[in-house]
Amino acid sequence: MKKTYTSFILVLIVLIIVNIAARSIYKRFDLTKDNRYTVSADTEKILKQAYKPIVIDVFLDGELPSEFRKLKLETGQFLEELAALHPNLKYDFLNPIEDATPAETEQITAQLLSNGVKGAVATIQEGGKSTNVTVFPYALILYDGKTTAVPLLKTVARATAEERVNSSIQQLEYQFADGLRKASLEKDKTVAFLRDSDELSDVRIGDFIGSVNEYYNTRPFGIEFLTTNDTIAPQQVLEVMNKFDLIIDPKPTAPYSETKKYLLDQYLMQGGKMLLAVDPIVMENDSLSNEQRKAYPLPRKLNLDDMLFRYGLRLNNGLVKDLKHAPLALATGQGRNTQYEAYAWPYYPISKTSKDTSATAQFITKNLEDVKFEYTGSIDTLKNGIRKTILLSTSDKAKELTLPTVVSLNEIGKEVVIESYNKSNLPLAVLAEGSFTSAYKNRVKPVDLNNPTDEGKEAAIVLIADGDVLKNQVLRGEPQELGFDIRTGQLYGNKEFLMNTINYLLDDTGLIKLRNKDIQVPFLDSKKVIDEKFKWQFINTVLPLLIVAGFGFVFMWLRKRKYQA
């Protein structure tokens, strides 16, 4: 008896110690194959820097289609991981229009839209019936009086609802980390947009500027006015340029002066970063608006060739055609009956990767949607000791037309001669990194600078052979989302590619890692579920009862037999 009592006391003491240890020592284990519930070090860093309370409202509740219920489940599990890391993070799932009247629903929808939350119509299929419901696949992060919208449903070209949700689940950590960063962190880097060589107007790159401005400070900047203003010293301008972490030139159309080239060259020699979206071809769709429906593309003279050549890059002004391309939308009908129809248009190459298997290329372009180009040239890379990474290229069925040439809408519908597409993987976007040699080495300098440099520090250039990659469409004077084609409803990956590139150039690689996270989510086959519904209902409800009844029968029979004996 005394031994039993002692054992009981020991067990009780052990249980108390285990409970105390469990309260003070906390550890979660992720046993999934793809580590989907393991929060990355970059996200943890953002959470640690966000020291104030965080409130997250997720608008995924109520009656939802099956794929959205899966997204809700995964979102809840991920937020649980975030809450385990941040003691002051609270989250809740809610349906913003639950029990609301039509008038209240309209008012709530407008209020959510003002915060960046857009509603979408989804279909619930159950028992052979379809019901349309409005869903808001967003979360709102409230931090320090600031509200940030987090989109949870990713748009994927030509994808089923399940594929979209699967892609969205892959992006969950990135979307929340991105939202937390926007809400809690101060901008510490500055990006300059050059506005002095007849570049794209602010409204034509409004969404791109806005996207960059969410992460970094943005400033318009000009260099060309130096050639007409004697009161400004080039040295002072260069000193201002050196304060920028990145300089972007969005589709210049006027030739560079030697002064501008030299200042950009010396900026690069000081370790600067540049993104040049240069259009080597003069060609716009407006040129096709004539009776002949023809246009004659010409080379664009930008006075850049010698500078780029010294850096190991060359812009080709041949017009690229590709069998892998985006459509061109043309109007049919008149007046109120006007509609747009999409036609194959090989002058709009699309690309989301290249044959470059380097880690850098894969890092920037992994999981991209197709990036759309319009009337683009191509790029040659030259050997000069600078590291070149081909980020995007054409398909293996492309060709390059020598200028001048003719582009005609009459080509639409004609039989394609596949054999003529005999070029493959023409580079469209190239990253060059290394210690560059000045384009003005052993040359007469256009202006005097203090201590000019011929051999530079580690620097980087991204050259894109089409300025329209940065261009958004405009509707009623408002810039639309970059990459979205109003007339076809297609969303391309232009913005994601550009933001990945900018993040890389500014050594902000944590966000790219999160974008590239791979998670595979299994989904039920809805047709198989309907076909086998009765079988699984029987297995899950009737069969367990039959098993219990069988055990009961056997038990009673054995007991009766025992007492009869």
pLDDT, tens digit, 9 for 90 and up, residues 363-381: 899 888 899 999 999 999 9
Domain formed by 29-183, architecture: 3-Layer(aba) Sandwich (3.40)
**Coil, helix or strand at residue 438:** coil
Domains 29-183 and 190-507 share a fold: no
| The predicted structure's pLDDT at residue 183 | 85
pLDDT, tens digit, 9 for 90 and up, residues 547-558: 887 877 777 777
**CA 469-471-473 angle, 5° bins:** 130
| The predicted structure's pLDDT at residue 193 | 97
Domain formed by 190-507, architecture: 3-Layer(aba) Sandwich (3.40)
| The predicted structure's pLDDT at residue 514 | 66
Distance CA 438, CA 10 (A): 79
Long-range Cβ pairs for the range 473-478 (8 Å, 24+): 474/203, 474/204, 477/203, 478/203, 478/206
Q: Which residues pair with 190 in a beta bridge?
A: 217
| The predicted structure's pLDDT at residue 113 | 87
Domain edges within the chain: 29-183, 190-507, 532-564
Backbone torsions φ then ψ of 146, nearest 5 degrees? -110, 140
* Burial tier of 8 (Cβ tally within 10 Å: 0-12, 13-18, 19+): exposed
pLDDT, tens digit, 9 for 90 and up, residues 459-474: 999 999 999 999 999 9
| The predicted structure's pLDDT at residue 11 | 72
The pTM score is 0.80
Distance CA 227, CA 336 (A): 51
Helix (H), strand (E) at residue 304: none
Distance CA 332, CA 66 (A): 38
Quickly count: other Cβ atoms within 10 Å of residue 96's Cβ: 20
Distance CA 24, CA 541 (A): 42
Cis peptide before 327 (omega within 30 of 0): no
Backbone torsions φ then ψ of 135, nearest 5 degrees? -120, 155
Backbone torsions φ then ψ of 376, nearest 5 degrees? -95, 155
Low-confidence ranges of the chain (pLDDT < 50): none
